[in-house]
Structure 1
């Protein structure tokens, strides 16, 4: 063979290798494209199952803060009941900034960011699953179960895996899960900006995520055990100082007592089971995975087990010590939120590996049973409201109809009073008046107490206002006039037909919006 032929042969071989590499890159891109599409479809399914309820519960703070950022003249009478808490996060500023930049209406922006948060949560779950398990159907079984169980209650914490409305906890959780996947891939520094952004959005949940990532990073080192044993003394460092030891006021205690789930030692047996059983399961799974030589799964489950034991010990110390009572509203048992995500993800993966496998009928039954069961439970949980409260679709809920009318037909400085327990009224389904009506209101007895436990200086105003509206169902004209004279309230929402003497420009079959003369 001549030198010319040899050179031609090498050139041809190089060309073939380049073609093969190019084809491999195309195949990889197509594979990733299909995976992203599957995550997208599971996110759509998750939204359809869990429902969408803007203005629900914690939106009393976050959605209200977004609207106040966009229109500072709103809420002239009660802004402290959401602004002080929202100062701990940049979430509302980011959403408001996006709206100003894109001119997308608030309702559509909330829906978009809610979907993106759910998508990123499931993307993080898939990235974790593909590191732990080689089989693709196993990975997707974990993602599928997590998508179906987004509204799984986390034992004793008053949390779901994901909220049915846009919440910084959803977004922060997504960032934490993505950070976990980066650490498991050996790219620890890529996790840092994700955790930092999560902290800016939701400090408490991000702090718990950072704690887990620390345990995970230790578990990924070789050897593992000396590092984990070195953490024994960390409990001492977990006890903060300063404001924690300030004496709580009676008003603060009154607000605290409205949150029974804060008190670990009054939990029922099944709440304790929900807290401890996942730790036991992860401890057993760690031993089994180690015996089988499944190194990555063993390290991951060891990190979950160690994190859970550490945080459980911290919670029991904090919630037992009277000197640390001011830490109660920090809800240290919320560490279970992340553990429940891992429990659902790993449980789904194991279900796929040992039961579903590649059997189409088993997969069909699995998807139908899990998604239908959770869908039915969510519809039953909010019976007075459409399952998907999408922008532009009129609500059939009489409370939301009244809120919509108020937003469109009353002055922006209007100050409203209503039943302090209105959130728990039949058919109201815990929708926030502030978030939806965009008007000021007197403090309530359902949501506002949680703000008082975190911001004690709100206590005197909260107590005065809820005392002023005590016995609301018996109020007559003179009681409403007293509210107006004492607190400056000019408008009320009452049952229809209304008490005599009120000027009422709107009503439906259940409620009346009235102006106090």
Structure 2
């Protein structure tokens, strides 16, 4: 069905696939990047939360309407904000699958190929996009949950030459995720130049030159130093020279297959299929060239945060849609014209089962779908929920800065789940510092102060209290020091008050309790 044709929108089928995707990939509250986005929404909904060091998530919030949309939804519907977050996740998941259907419907003429594309994409939504540290669709809510389907809708508008639709959706995308819309602008230039030139293979260069306009200001040519250098170079996927051969294969193989799609004039495909296959090639090459240049010398350190290889998030999504549609077109029918009805469900089902077990291995201590609740089977999450219900809203916590690498946490962020302030952690808050260099020194000081906190002695807690007097609570994984007031000690975690170092009545023993 070419884009120009109008057929009923298959909302019920897409809703069914949305439920299937939810069952396959799950929903995990407050994990990974949600530790940055969720606290921003919660603070907008309740300004009393997070009085200490909110800059590690508010600097993102100032660039996105994500937090405002989620907080406003909670306000106007009178739903608890955790439920608003979950419902928005389901809406965005539907939007992701629907936008993939829109792309597939414009690239394939047969219903078989279109639904093969959407079904297989649904099965692999949580797969990684090259070595970008991104998934096609996260099993948790972030600004990307909104920006990705909006980007695909804008891309469909460009392919249809419905520039008003593309412009409006691109604008909304930028309101949610300015970085992602910058990549979309580069792709738009490639598409427009390609369509106007009528000689598709010879005109990537003008697009590259035009793309300079999307670069932000405020970047200078000098090596990163101090804490900011540590932040940047701790992310080895930023630098192509750190990539292994299989990372390169995952990046270059899709471009090679897309080149074959473009030249192949495959059965059951449309002009939009060929155009989309082609434009992804210069789009990807541009990204690789930019990444090579940025990685070539320390004088480009301040440009690393542009992360040009994140374009492969969109490239991978488009590649999977097209590849899955081609599979459906050719594997779903025999040479004699008879249908091979089992082929598409067999592949999609096998992939779905595999992805389900990948998800269980990634979050082994958590429920597959973490609906908002007062308790959790995950010991770490249960501890954070207790903190939310039993400590003051303005409480400030110290947690071991490497807690996210503890397997039992399943990457659940402290702030997002507990709704309490905390000193910066080493991993997730360094992501904020990588984008906002002014946070780097503060991040380094805080994360260093709590390194090894689970094994702190009396002197360590006194030092911490002297350095950060606002910090009056801590979470210890393991036995707490004798003498600490720990109202919660369950499942291997202790929530304790940190006594003031200046209090004459404070006496701590280095002896530990077993529980």
TM-score w.r.t. the length of structure 1 is 0.90
Q: Which residue of 2 aligns with 1:462?
A: 443
Q: For 2:318, which of 342, 357, 361 is the aligned residue? A: 342
Q: Which residue of 1 aligns with 2:383?
A: 402
Q: For 1:504, which of 483, 486, 498 is the aligned residue? A: 486
Paired residues of 2:123 and 2:349 also in contact (CA < 8 A): no
Q: Which residue of 1 aligns with 2:453?
A: 472
| 1:267 correspondence with 2:232 | no
Q: Which residue of 2 aligns with 1:437?
A: 418
Larger displacement relative to structure 2 (235-244 or 414-423) = 235-244
Q: CA separation of 1:234/1:312 partners in 2, compared to 1, >3 Å: closer, same or farther?
A: farther
Counterpart-to-counterpart distance in 1, 2:304 and 2:170? 24
Shift, 1:473, TM fit: 3.6
Paired residues of 2:35 and 2:415 also in contact (CA < 8 A): yes
- Unaligned runs of 5+ residues in structure 1 are 1-27
Q: Which residue of 2 aligns with 1:156?
A: 131
Q: For 2:69, which of 60, 70, 94 is the aligned residue? A: 94
Q: Which residue of 2 aligns with 1:256?
A: 232
Residue by residue over 1:353-376, the C-alpha shift from the partner in whole angstroms, topping out at 9 and shown as x without a partner, is 111244332233223201111101
Shift, 1:151, TM fit: 0.8
Q: For 2:168, which of 170, 189, 193 is the aligned residue? A: 193
| 1:328 correspondence with 2:309 | no
| 1:298 correspondence with 2:280 | no
Q: For 2:158, which of 179, 183, 205 is the aligned residue? A: 183
Counterpart-to-counterpart distance in 2, 1:319 and 1:259? 12
Q: CA separation of 1:356/1:466 partners in 2, compared to 1, >3 Å: closer, same or farther?
A: same
Q: For 1:308, which of 245, 262, 284 is the aligned residue? A: 284
SS of residue in 1 equivalent to 2:388: helix
Q: Which residue of 2 aligns with 1:130?
A: 105
Shift, 1:346, TM fit: 0.7
1:39-50 equivalence runs, <5 A: 39-50=14-25
Residue by residue over 1:384-420, the C-alpha shift from the partner in whole angstroms, topping out at 9 and shown as x without a partner, is 1111101237310110011000001001111111211
SS of residue in 2 equivalent to 1:503: coil
Counterpart-to-counterpart distance in 2, 1:198 and 1:262? 24
Paired residues of 1:235 and 1:314 also in contact (CA < 8 A): no
Paired residues of 2:262 and 2:275 also in contact (CA < 8 A): yes
Counterpart-to-counterpart distance in 2, 1:151 and 1:427? 21
Q: Which residue of 2 aligns with 1:383?
A: 364
- Unaligned runs of 5+ residues in structure 2 are 334-338, 500-515
Structure showing greater radius of gyration is 1
1:366-381 equivalence runs, <5 A: 366-381=347-362
Looking at secondary structure, tell me which structure has more helix per residue.
1
Paired residues of 1:477 and 1:500 also in contact (CA < 8 A): no
Counterpart-to-counterpart distance in 2, 1:88 and 1:232? 26
| 1:414 correspondence with 2:395 | yes
Paired residues of 1:442 and 1:465 also in contact (CA < 8 A): yes
Counterpart-to-counterpart distance in 2, 1:197 and 1:426? 37
Counterpart-to-counterpart distance in 2, 1:281 and 1:416? 50
Counterpart-to-counterpart distance in 2, 1:147 and 1:129? 13
Counterpart-to-counterpart distance in 2, 1:252 and 1:74? 28
Q: Which residue of 1 aligns with 2:327?
A: 351
Shift, 1:169, TM fit: 0.8
Residue by residue over 1:94-148, the C-alpha shift from the partner in whole angstroms, topping out at 9 and shown as x without a partner, is 2112221221221111111111111111111111111111100110000011111
Residue by residue over 1:143-201, the C-alpha shift from the partner in whole angstroms, topping out at 9 and shown as x without a partner, is 01111111111121111001111111121110111111122223122110100000110
Shift, 1:329, TM fit: 2.0
Paired residues of 1:289 and 1:295 also in contact (CA < 8 A): no
Shift, 1:515, TM fit: 0.8
Q: How many residues align?
A: 488
Paired residues of 2:108 and 2:269 also in contact (CA < 8 A): no
Q: Which residue of 2 aligns with 1:114?
A: 89
Counterpart-to-counterpart distance in 2, 1:447 and 1:232? 33
Counterpart-to-counterpart distance in 2, 1:72 and 1:299? 48
Q: CA separation of 1:85/1:245 partners in 2, compared to 1, >3 Å: closer, same or farther?
A: farther
Counterpart-to-counterpart distance in 1, 2:311 and 2:454? 40
Q: CA separation of 1:368/1:236 partners in 2, compared to 1, >3 Å: closer, same or farther?
A: closer
Paired residues of 2:224 and 2:298 also in contact (CA < 8 A): no
Shift, 1:230, TM fit: 3.6
Shift, 1:234, TM fit: 4.3
**Root mean square deviation, CA, Å:** 2.2
Counterpart-to-counterpart distance in 2, 1:163 and 1:230? 34
SS of residue in 1 equivalent to 2:33: helix
| 1:514 correspondence with 2:496 | yes
Shift, 1:42, TM fit: 1.0
